[in-house]
Amino acid sequence: MTDEDNVIGFVVGGAYSKGTLVQLQNRVHEEIEVGYCLVAESGRGNYLMIVNDIIADSPNTAITVNMARKPTFTKHLLSDILLTSKLNCIPIACASGDRVDEALTVPDYLSKCKLLTEDAAEAFYGKIDWQKRYPLGTVRPSEYNVPLDVSVMVQNSFGIFGKSGTGKSVLGNLLSAYILLYSKNSVLAGEDIPTTQLIFDMHSEYGLKLKTPSQTILAPGVAQCFPEEFKVYCVDHELVGEIEKEFKRGTLAKEFKIKKEKIEVEDIIALSELLKISGVGALNLQSLKDKLDEIAGNWFEAIINFNDYTNQDLKNMGFDTQTITSLRALSRRLSIFKNLPQFSEADDTCQELLKELENGKNIVVSFGKYGDLEALYMFIVNYISRRLREAYVGKSIGEGVRNRIIIFVEEAHKFLNPGVRESSPLGLIARELRKRGIVLGIIDQTPSQIDENVFGMIWNFFVGATSIERDVDVVTSSLKLTQLFKPLVTSLRRQEFLVYGSALKYPAVVKIVDYNSILKKVREEYERKFKANVNNDNVKRFLEED
Ligand SMILES: Nc1ncnc2c1ncn2[C@@H]1O[C@H](COP(=O)(O)OP(=O)(O)OP(=O)(O)O)[C@@H](O)[C@H]1O
Ligand SMILES: [Mg+2]
């Protein structure tokens, strides 16, 4: 194909705020899709543009064609002259010589437009080096893989959004694998402190397996691909057996336990919204804690079993009628926690988990069959995050903090909605601890439920398809030319994300790399550099089974 064959049209007008208009030439508009990248060659430089609308704008001519008489022949005669089609394109960047800048104008009239080629794409987005820049996926219509600069991504919180089934959890696992490899590489090169990950794995997709929407197995989760680097704490004790049986990972999977004595009133108050605990109920709990401690050894045990005591018993212990009624109501709300095996008299694995995290182990907390028990998921995420925050407030990188920590959290709006953001441990972490090296990997289906202040802390956005208008509004709100990007978000397919932020040079619509094949490559890189001569048969076997 000659260079001229690649020309698909020319610029005929437009406005910076509305986009560039490109008239198609020698092409039927059906060949071009929303999300395609073009390059417009003007005298000033090459403009990278993303198509956000396809316009067939000759209806008056089309209706004059007599469809009874050789319409194909007539169409051929009229094409490009009287039957024209146009593309509306978002100006993204402009390359002139070695310089590439964000586009702040539109290309000149009659600039030739070509479909993006791999070479042209590289001039804008740079090269993959498997050190800092890792392959995120292709930009249509080229096969070029855009590099994601993981060294930049890990510095700040990032967000993965999109409706169910768009590929958020697969992408979460992929980013986690890249962060792991980046951390190993950067420490080896002496370029960065280690980055460790704490992953709250609601549906056991990081600790065990990723599944397709029809519940067949898609691939091993990141922890299974790198058993040397991850430890899985299982909220569901049956998961320990499952992980050990299938992957022979021995002590790397462990049951997660909370000692009842260690539960603070704040841990329950954090669930007020979900459990509809009133302000009075919460206040009662605070003031009566010591008294409740006396009844059953610890206040939590006393409150979840409060209905075992008769009114008379309680009165004898000094509770008045009003307090008894209020505590009974609270006890009913907390009854979901009664008899849960995670609450123990003796063991508490949280301290151990935090110690390991601090020492550089990546941690996955997998919920197994308890993933759908919202109150327990929220309780445990809050419980661990509160203690992590307490351990890190007051420390900063360079003075005591040896690792950067990235906390992945699915259904993040539960912890970051306007009602709780100011008091929830994750909300506080997002606000206070970035400078101390703790950031969030926020994963959510309904970003409009997240407090708007949180979006100011997110530096990289991975936006999957979503059709709810207020969700589209919030996930595009950090872009320039917001309105122009919205049609892109609604038209994304599964596995496609609009990606923008500090870790990608320019916004792009990316078809994310195939998870199975890329994880094999990540594993190979890892083995080549960090596990020379180690033959991990379990991992190999699993990676070979698709
Ligand atoms: N990068 C990818 N490689 C291979 N398959 C993918 C990829 N991304 C998405 N898929 C396919 O899309 C399906 C859905 O992905 P995933 O489970 O990550 O969606 P989700 O957005 O997390 O959905 P939910 O919100 O319901 O949890 C996967 O099971 C897989 O079949
Ligand atoms: Mg998911």
Tell me the longest C-alpha to C-alpha distance in the chain: 100
Q: Please check whether residue 115 is in contact with residue 9, taking contact to mean a CB–CB distance below 8 angstroms.
A: no
Ligand 1: centre distance to CA 272 (Å): 32
d(CA 284, CA 157): 36
Chain-wide mean pLDDT for the chain?
90
Count H helices, E strands: the chain?
A: 22, 25
d(CA 170, CA 160): 11
216 lines ligand 1 (CB under 6 A): no
Structure token digits, residue 14: 């437009």
DSSP 8-state symbol, 393: T
Structure token digits, residue 131: 């050190």
The full set of domain ranges for the chain reads 4-115, 147-256+349-544, 260-337
Closest ligand 1 atom number to CA of residue 212: 29
List, in order, residues 6 or more apart from 390 with CB less than 8 Å away.
Answer: none
Question: Domain 147-256+349-544, what fold?
Answer: Rossmann fold (3.40.50)
Neighbours of 434 (CB within 10 A): 16
Q: Check residue 533 and give its pLDDT.
A: 46
For residue 62, pLDDT over 80 is answered with: no
169 lines ligand 1 (CB under 6 A): yes
Q: Check residue 537 and give its pLDDT.
A: 58
Ligand 2: centre distance to CA 171 (Å): 9
User: In angstroms, what CA-CA distances link 20 with 9, 110, 286, 434, 540?
Assistant: 12, 11, 61, 39, 50
492 lines ligand 1 (CB under 6 A): no
Pocket test for ligand 1, best of 170, 171, 519 (most atoms within 8 A of CB): 170
Query: Which of 418-427, 496-505, 533-542 has the weakest average pLDDT?
Result: 533-542
In a 13 Å sphere around the CA of 236, the CA atoms on its Cβ side amount to 20
Closest ligand 1 atom number to CA of residue 218: 29
pLDDT in tens, 176-215: 999 999 999 999 999 999 999 999 999 999 999 999 888 8
Please, what is the angle between helix 515-530 and helix 168-188, to 10°? 20
382 lines ligand 1 (CB under 6 A): no
Output phi, psi for 95, to 5 deg.
-110, 125
For residue 397, pLDDT over 70 is answered with: no
Ligand closest in space to the Cα of 173: 1
Q: Check residue 420 and give its pLDDT.
A: 83
Closest ligand 1 atom number to CA of residue 163: 25
Q: Check residue 156 and give its pLDDT.
A: 96
Ligand 1: centre distance to CA 45 (Å): 38
| Dihedral angle, C-alpha 69, 71, 74, 80, nearest 10 ° | 160
Ligand closest in space to the Cα of 495: 1
Ligand 2: centre distance to CA 323 (Å): 43
pLDDT in tens, 465-483: 998 999 999 999 999 999 9
Output phi, psi for 376, to 5 deg.
-70, -40
For residue 68, pLDDT over 90 is answered with: no
213 lines ligand 1 (CB under 6 A): yes
Closest ligand 1 atom number to CA of residue 410: 27
Query: Which of 68-72, 260-264, 287-291 has the weakest average pLDDT?
Result: 68-72
